Amino acid sequence: MPHIHHYRRFIGCLVAAASCFSAARSQAQVAIKGKIVHTMTSAGTIADGVVVITNGKIAAVGKATEVKIPDGYKVIEGAVVTPGLIDPRGTVGVSGLFNQRQDQDQLERSSPIQPELRGIDAFNPGDRLVEWVRSFGITTVHTGHATGELISGQTCIVKTTGKPVEQCTVVETATIAATLGPGAQKDGKASPGTRAKEVAMLREELIKAQEYQHKRDHPAPPDERPDGEDKRNPDRNLRSESLVRVLKGEVPLMVTANRAQDISGALRLAKEFKIRMILDSASEAYLLLNDIKAAGVPVILHPTMSRAFGEMENMSFESAANLTHAGIPTAIQSGYEAYVPKTRVVLFEAGIAAANGLTITEALATITTVPAAILGIADRVGSLKVGLDGDAAVYDGDPFEYTTHCTSVVIEGQSMPQIVH
């Protein structure tokens, strides 16, 4: 009978769904064994360590002699285990592998100020560059709009799982990206054409956002509304709404500034409007260590292997060490690479910093714990700690040695497909 046929189909669907759920659960039950485990916590480095991941979260971390691996768990082994690495600033997934018009969404040139543009709306989790950086142990990326406009748009934080953006997103709006210096200046009579104009335009937009929010919070009494109109709230303005979040401290303004004079301009704006700020690139930051530290502003430093010309001409391989040892929270980024393959790999960038003044632990922190803290996601990623996401990278040797391979990547307890380099 028809109703019996439908009943059987219904039961079949339930069984299939249960099987899929069971498979997903089993994939998230993983134990990782390493001869060296860098926890990036107060537990330090553990020799012959184990990380147990249950239902996508870290359930136990410790010595192999002290941590029992539950029956049925998939066991992954390697020489060195680290937390999943974090690329704290780049455009991967927004600037794509092919370097062609259809996969280059990192910069909208139609206006110098566009904070309403969302990085999440341009991110392509299936781009091959996402898979490529993951193959080096990078499990979380802070990506979105590149430098090149006064306010180029928003950034987002995503996992490199390759899953649909709704499933891989950690933070929808992580920062609003701005640029000070020649990178955002226009030729001819277009604005901004000078540094003073850049800062003035930023100040003007922040003041407009203040006024916009004041009108929404304090509507005019009915008898003061012209022509009887309902002016309780001004018309919605996505640009102002985005900057109101900056003024309220909900979202930091991330300012790309390399010359010392541009860094100083950014710090003045942060003080004037009492906003949270992150310095991006900051190649001459070592000239302003005291000012940056006093302002309490963290730095997402340029890639160590950036090209040293133009406003980057005074960059230094020792900047990461100088900033870190001055007590300034400092992470190292991949940045925006104008040439193919459009992204660098922060594992290598941190390795260069380790050869120029940072200890191995300090260098690893620039791509794990420090960016997690700067970006406000330390409660999920950045270290191998019970309760955090089960993200880890496994290597067959010292991660900072060029000949070392990343042999396994685990994100939220799931072992990811691996590219062979």
Residue 161: inside a domain = yes
Residue 10: inside a domain = no
Contact 57, 51 (CB under 8 A): no
The pTM of the full predicted model, rounded to 2 decimals, is 0.91
Contact 31, 50 (CB under 8 A): yes
Q: Examine the domain organization and report whether 253 and 340 are in the same domain.
A: yes
Per-residue pLDDT, 223: 61
Residue 311: inside a domain = yes
Q: Examine the domain organization and report whether 188 and 291 are in the same domain.
A: yes
How far is 303 from 307, CA to CA, in rounded Å? Answer: 9
Structure tokens given for 136: 């080096």
Residue 106: inside a domain = yes
The answer to whether residue 7 scores a pLDDT higher than 60 is no
Q: Examine the domain organization and report whether 285 and 400 are in the same domain.
A: no
Per-residue pLDDT, averaged over 405-417, amounts to 97
Q: Examine the domain organization and report whether 214 and 299 are in the same domain.
A: yes
The answer to whether residue 14 scores a pLDDT higher than 90 is no
Q: What is the CATH number of the domain that holds 93?
A: 3.20.20.140
Per-residue pLDDT, 28: 79
Q: Examine the domain organization and report whether 400 and 292 are in the same domain.
A: no
Q: Examine the domain organization and report whether 334 and 408 are in the same domain.
A: no
Q: Examine the domain organization and report whether 270 and 345 are in the same domain.
A: yes
Q: For residue 181, what are the domain limits?
A: 85-381
- Tally Cβ neighbours within 10 Å of residue 275: 17
Q: Examine the domain organization and report whether 143 and 46 are in the same domain.
A: no
DSSP 38: E
Instruction: Return the minimum-mean-pLDDT range out of 56-65, 181-190, 228-237, 324-333.
Output: 228-237
Instruction: Return the minimum-mean-pLDDT range out of 199-213, 214-228, 284-298.
Output: 214-228
Per-residue pLDDT, 219: 79
**Angle CA 85–88–89, to nearest 5:** 135
User: Residue 13: which pLDDT band, with cuts at 50, 70 and 90?
Assistant: very low
Residue 13: inside a domain = no
Give per-residue pLDDT as tens, 85-120: 999 999 999 999 888 888 999 999 999 999 999 999
Q: Examine the domain organization and report whether 279 and 388 are in the same domain.
A: no
Q: What is the CATH number of the domain that holds 48?
A: 2.30.40.10
Q: Examine the domain organization and report whether 90 and 74 are in the same domain.
A: no
Per-residue pLDDT, 304: 87
User: Residue 20: which pLDDT band, with cuts at 50, 70 and 90?
Assistant: very low
Residue 3: inside a domain = no
Q: Examine the domain organization and report whether 237 and 294 are in the same domain.
A: yes
Question: Average pLDDT, whole number, for the chain?
Answer: 92
Per-residue pLDDT, 360: 97
Q: Examine the domain organization and report whether 78 and 158 are in the same domain.
A: no
Residue 54: inside a domain = yes
Per-residue pLDDT, averaged over 19-44, amounts to 79
Residue 212: inside a domain = yes
Give per-residue pLDDT as tens, 397-408: 999 999 999 999
- Radius of gyration, alpha carbons of the chain: 24
Cβ neighbourhood burial of 146 (10 Å; 0-12, 13-18, 19+): buried
Domains: count for the chain: 2
